[in-house]
Amino acid sequence: MEVPYLNVHALGWSISDSSVGDVRVSRHSLPGGPVTFTNVHMTSFTISSVNASGQNPGTYILNDTNMSCAGIVYKSVVPGTRVIIDGEEC
């Protein structure tokens, strides 16, 4: 079953073996570990400043997904935010 969208702002969180549709990431409000997706099909991956109080950059690791660096959408990203797809930083 595909989740139509997923809004992520958790720290040290991971999801695997799923289909999640559109992924929307709110910037981090607390320092912490990366958010990891493994073997997850997604239609889009957007990082934005939905949470104005978020001041910490996030690290988002995508392994064995259908996404490429060219498909990541950045909106008002906190400096230092990192997206790593299959070991390659975007």
d(CA 75, CA 88): 21
pLDDT digits (tens, 9 = 90+) for 64-87: 999 999 999 988 777 788 899 999
Q: What is the pTM of this model?
A: 0.80
Domain tally, the chain = 1
Residue 41 belongs to domain spanning = 5-89
- Confidence label for 2 from pLDDT (cuts 50, 70 and 90): very low
- Confidence label for 1 from pLDDT (cuts 50, 70 and 90): very low
- C-alpha to C-alpha distances, 55 to 25, 60, 63, 72, nearest whole angstrom: 14, 16, 26, 20
Q: Which letter, b or e, does each residue of 64-79 get, where b requires 16 or more Cβ atoms within 10 Å of its Cβ?
A: ebebeeebbeeeebee
The residue-averaged pLDDT of 25-32 equals 67
d(CA 68, CA 50): 23
